């Protein structure tokens, strides 16, 4: 059987994502499409524009058979940790193939780079360390190391993330075949067209532009939407009432940046201003935003480390095909299949609850958001209709 995995966020689900699903099924002749999807917060360090249950339903209505949650402890991390967690879950779910989008569409080049890094790991790490000591960002340091080892470089975001996926497979010797398809739009374009970038659509929604032609389920976005900047009052209070010593214990608060956090927050009047003031040659916007989410949740580095060894697959939704597949693998799956929040105990699930409570703080219906975390069971659909 061809069990094909997709690593997604669907923030929001647009026609580019539909193209991804359709092409994945076409090029692999998939018997099953399994999605591992970030929950209520996404890798860029932002709150998802709508909740994970709504995004799960949209995915199932457009060709996905099974949706598994990517735990917060993996999702709100740098590309390598994000990829390692996602690929491991898809491997445990029995995936034979993974399909992702990239700017180049050149899977062989990504394989060449991944094997080169694996075979020259000590030298590669040494080159990265030396480059970062000059004050440059990790991604740029990696590119300098690649240029030195292989005379190649990767600069576009989805190629960089794709390389992380391929490295996770290569480094762990997973029996998974990787495929990439070329993206159908410019990753940084803010232009609204039928296939627009997720960031362009989020911006259009924020400014009340017409996005009906860009989203398969546009009616979902006429209800409550969530934006990262809504966290700013909470963040300001948190930072103004926390000491630098306390901040240093929190995940991603490193290298003395706690002092900059306490200094910059005093004059910042909104989230955009605050994040921009901290973004630098060393710290990307994504890293700053991920750090902010961990600060808001009071996640210590120790707590995140303890929660990283996830041993479960949390099922968010499925169709009939996905249900049959779960029944087939449940006896042999090395990870516990979790369909209700209370059925499994793990530090990562406790952090998931904290993340949902954080989201509830900016909701007009906080009780509903919190209850959805521990009351909801996997969404079930059949032939595009609810059971």
Domain ranges of the chain: 3-104+159-225+309-386, 106-155, 228-305
Residue ranges of E strands in 87-245: 97-102, 177-182
Q: Residue 360: which of 231, 272, 206, 239 has the closest Cα?
A: 231
Residue 273 host element (H or E): helix 271-278
Whether residue 340 contacts residue 378, with contact meaning beta carbons closer than 8 Å, is answered with no
User: What per-residue confidence (pLDDT) applies to 194?
Assistant: 53
Tokens describing residue 354: 């904290």
Alpha-helical runs (H) found in 208-256: 232-240, 244-247
**Is there a contact between 264 and 247 (Cβ–Cβ < 8 Å)?**
no
Tell the residue number behind the tokens 């900016």, with chain if given: 362
| DSSP H or E segment with residue 34 | strand 32-38
- End-to-end Cα distance, the chain: 26
Quote the CA–CA distance of 305 and 80 in Å, as a whole number. 15
- Strand pairing partners for 101? 181
Q: Which of 193, 195, 162, 161 is nearest to 18 (CA)?
A: 195
User: How much is the pLDDT for 190?
Assistant: 52
CA gap 299, 10 in Å, rounded: 25
β pairing state of 312-319 and 66-70: antiparallel
Per-residue pLDDT of the chain (387 residues; tens, 9 = 90+): 999 999 999 999 999 999 999 999 999 999 999 999 999 999 999 999 999 999 999 999 999 999 999 999 999 999 999 999 999 999 999 999 999 998 888 899 999 999 999 999 999 999 988 988 887 888 788 888 888 888 887 878 889 899 999 999 999 999 999 999 987 655 455 555 556 788 889 888 888 887 788 888 888 888 899 999 999 999 999 999 999 999 999 999 998 899 999 999 999 999 999 999 999 888 899 999 999 999 999 999 999 999 999 999 999 999 999 999 999 999 999 999 999 999 999 999 999 999 999 999 999 999 999 999 999 999 999 864 433
Predicted pLDDT at 252: 95
Q: 């359709």: which residue's tokens?
A: 22
Q: Which two tokens stand for residue 283?
A: 């710290």
Q: What's the token pair of residue 120?
A: 């020259």
pTM of the predicted protein model: 0.93
Report residue 357 CA to chain centroid gap.
Answer: 19
Per-residue pLDDT, 386: 39
Per-position DSSP letters for 297-312, written without gaps between them: HT-BHHHHHHH-S--E
Longest dimension (CA), the chain: 58
Query: Is residue 317 within 8 Å of residue 378, measured between CB atoms?
Result: yes
The fold of the 3-104+159-225+309-386 domain, in CATH, is: Rossmann fold (3.40.50)
Q: How many degrees, rounded to 5, is the angle at CA 136 between CA 135 and CA 139?
A: 150
Question: Is beta strand 385-386 parallel, antiparallel or unpaired with respect to 66-70?
Answer: unpaired
Cβ atoms of residues 116 and 150 within 8 Å: yes
Which run of H or E residues covers position 127? helix 121-132
Note the Cα 255 to chain centre separation in Å: 25
């Amino acid at each position: 059987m061809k069990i094909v995995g997709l690593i997604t966020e669907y923030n929001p689900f647009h026609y580019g994502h539909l193209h991804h699903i359709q092409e994945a099924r076409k090029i692999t002749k998939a018997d099953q499409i399994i999605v591992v999807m970030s929950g209520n917060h996404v890798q860029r360090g932002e709150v998802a524009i709508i909740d994970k249950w709504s995004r799960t339903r949209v995915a199932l209505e457009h060709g996905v058979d099974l949706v598994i949650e990517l735990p917060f402890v993996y999702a709100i991390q740098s590309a390598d940790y994000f990829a390692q967690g996602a690929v491991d879950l898809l491997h445990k779910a029995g995936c034979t193939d993974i399909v992702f989008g990239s700017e180049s569409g050149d899977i062989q080049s990504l394989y060449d780079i991944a094997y080169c890094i694996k075979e020259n790991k000590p030298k590669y790490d040494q080159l990265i360390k030396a480059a970062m000591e000059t004050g440059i960002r990790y991604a740029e340091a990696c590119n300098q190391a690649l240029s030195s080892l292989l005379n190649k470089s990767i600069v576009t975001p989805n190629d960089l993330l794709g390389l992380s996926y391929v490295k996770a497979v290569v480094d762990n010797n997973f029996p998974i075949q990787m495929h990439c398809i070329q993206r159908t739009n410019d990753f940084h374009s803010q232009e609204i067209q039928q296939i627009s970038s997720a960031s362009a659509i989020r911006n259009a929604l924020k400014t009340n532009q017409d996005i009906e032609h860009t989203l398969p389920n546009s009616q979902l976005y006429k209800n409550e939407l969530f934006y990262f900047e809504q966290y700013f009052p909470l963040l300001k209070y948190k930072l103004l009432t926390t000491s630098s010593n306390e901040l240093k214990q929190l995940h991603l608060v490193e290298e003395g940046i706690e002092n900059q956090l306490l200094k910059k927050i005093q004059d910042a009047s909104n989230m955009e201003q605050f994040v921009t003031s901290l973004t630098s040659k060393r710290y990307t916007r994504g890293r700053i935003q991920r750090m902010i989410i961990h600060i808001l949740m009071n996640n210590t580095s120790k707590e995140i480390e303890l929660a990283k060894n996830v041993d479960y697959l949390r099922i968010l939704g499925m169709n009939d095909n996905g249900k049959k597949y779960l029944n087939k693998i449940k006896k042999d799956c090395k990870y516990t299949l979790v369909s209700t929040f209370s059925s499994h105990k793990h530090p990562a699930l406790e952090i998931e609850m904290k993340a949902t409570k954080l989201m509830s703080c900016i909701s007009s219906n906080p009780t509903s958001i919190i209850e959805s975390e521990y009351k909801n069971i996997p969404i079930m659909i059949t032939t595009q209709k609810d059971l």
